[in-house]
């Protein structure tokens, strides 16, 4: 699901102070220095329960449709899917099963993942999105969905050793630093041999940026890399999504294992 903060309203939302790029991770490990999480949660979210509650309340009013998933940015839908397809191609080792996290109605599953994988599983916190995916949106492909998980990702533990790809699009921004780190650790355990996690999300141009309306937070790419490293994952590739309007916040794809 596309967060409202996709529009880069640079002066409209609270912003974290700019951060310098983190030191080389190899140098940190060599000096046995722990990676610190940035103070996004404690300084800007101001209460995890309210942060998650506001997101839940927001999405209860979002229609189960492509328009609901993309909001005012329907024109980027095809460009987004094609960019995802090309990025995914580089990392597919197995095609048995994939997990779509924060799936919404299954827009990415339908346009990117189902053409590649034999089976799929979808996870989203909104029941009406998953019901629409199963009953209408995915059509005959719904027969290939093994499981629909109606969970908040901060409370969700995927089955171990099951997925060739775990896909996370526009959902990392709805997790606090700590919960995102822990969820990535759980996702790592859910991968089959040679499996990968692919994250696609808004990345702030500097520091981090909180959107109080849909309760999402965008982090600078370097901050995201630090969280990924703290989760014990290795970044395989990073690529910017091209072809989006300039007014849109930068969107990056990260493959990790």
Q: How far apart are CA 27 and CA 178, in angstroms?
A: 23
Name residues whose C-beta falls within 8 Å of residue 8's C-beta, 6 or more positions apart in sequence: 205, 247, 248, 249, 250
Query: Annotated binding residue at 111?
Result: no
Closest CA to 249 of 257, 241, 149, 48: 241
DSSP code per residue over 147-202: EEEE--GGG--PPTT-EEEEEEES-GGGS-HHHHHHHHHHHHHTEEEEEEEEEEEE
**Residue 202, beta-bridge partner list:** 251
Query: Annotated binding residue at 102?
Result: yes
Closest CA to 240 of 24, 80, 104: 80
Query: Annotated binding residue at 154?
Result: yes
Three-class DSSP category at 98: strand
Which segments of the chain are extended strands (E)? 97-101, 119-124, 145-150, 163-169, 191-204, 208-211, 216-220, 235-240, 251-256
Q: How far apart are CA 147 and CA 179, in angstroms?
A: 23
Residue numbers in the known binding site are 102, 107, 153-154, 169
Residue numbers in the known binding site for S-adenosyl-L-methionine are 102, 107, 153-154, 169
């Amino acid at each position: 699901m596309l967060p409202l903060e996709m529009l880069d309203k640079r002066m409209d939302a609270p912003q974290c102070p700019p951060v310098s790029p983190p030191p080389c991770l190899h140098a940190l490990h060599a000096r046995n220095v722990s990676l610190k999480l940035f103070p996004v949660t404690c300084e800007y979210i101001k209460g995890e329960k309210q942060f998650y509650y506001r997101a839940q309340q927001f999405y209860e009013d979002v229609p189960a449709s492509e328009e609901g998933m993309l909001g005012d940015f329907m024109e980027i839908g095809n460009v987004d899917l094609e960019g995802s397809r090309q990025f995914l191609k580089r990392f597919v080792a197995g095609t048995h099963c994939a997990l779509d996290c924060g799936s919404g109605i299954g827009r990415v599953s339908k346009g990117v993942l189902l053409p590649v994988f034999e089976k799929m599983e979808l996870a989203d916190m909104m029941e009406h999105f998953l019901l629409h995916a199963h009953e209408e949106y995915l059509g005959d492909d719904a027969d290939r969905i093994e499981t629909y998980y109606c969970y908040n990702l901060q409370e969700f533990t995927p089955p171990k050793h099951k997925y060739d790809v775990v896909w996370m699009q526009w959902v990392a921004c709805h997790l606090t630093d700590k919960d995102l780190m822990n969820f990535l650790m759980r996702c790592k355990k859910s991968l089959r041999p040679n499996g990968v996690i692919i994250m696609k999300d808004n990345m702030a141009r500097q520091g981090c940026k909180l959107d109080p309306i849909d309760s999402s937070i965008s982090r600078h790419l370097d901050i995201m890399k630090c969280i990924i490293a703290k989760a014990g994952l290795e970044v395989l590739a990073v690529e910017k999504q091209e072809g989006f309007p300039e007014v849109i916040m930068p969107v990056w794809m990260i493959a990790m294992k």
